[in-house]
Amino acid sequence: MPFKFQKLEIRQAAIEMPDDIDKLPKTFPKEEIFVLTSQLKKAAESISLNTSEASTAQSNAEQSAFLVYGLRSALEDVNCLFLAKKKKVLCQKKNLRYFMTF
């Protein structure tokens, strides 16, 4: 029997995101490996983790809180992508799919 969160569309999309994000930093300069790369990966994983946790919440307020945490993580990834673009380590045109996800 599947867990409740496995049926959520947002979680299904979020579970793929860390794999997609993991491909991006391979082209980053070494000085960004431990800064932007680490933050991108953590935030991407946090989206599906918080969404999953929200599905088992005891109340609507608790569920909403975890969904908001997931949303904040998604916004963190968006900002990391824009920072990478600003630092010229990521081309928006070449990686438009990642920018359009959000």
Instruction: Provide the pLDDT for residue 97.
Output: 59
User: How far apart are alpha carbons 7 and 4 in whole angstroms?
Assistant: 6
Domain count for the chain: 1
Q: Which domain holds residue 49?
A: 4-101
Instruction: Provide the pLDDT for residue 55.
Output: 83
pLDDT for 102 beyond 70? no
Query: CATH no. for residue 59?
Result: 1.20.1440.60
pLDDT for 1 beyond 60? no
Are 69 and 57 within 8 A, CB to CB?
no
- Indicate the Cα dihedral angle 64, 66, 71, 77, nearest 10°: 170
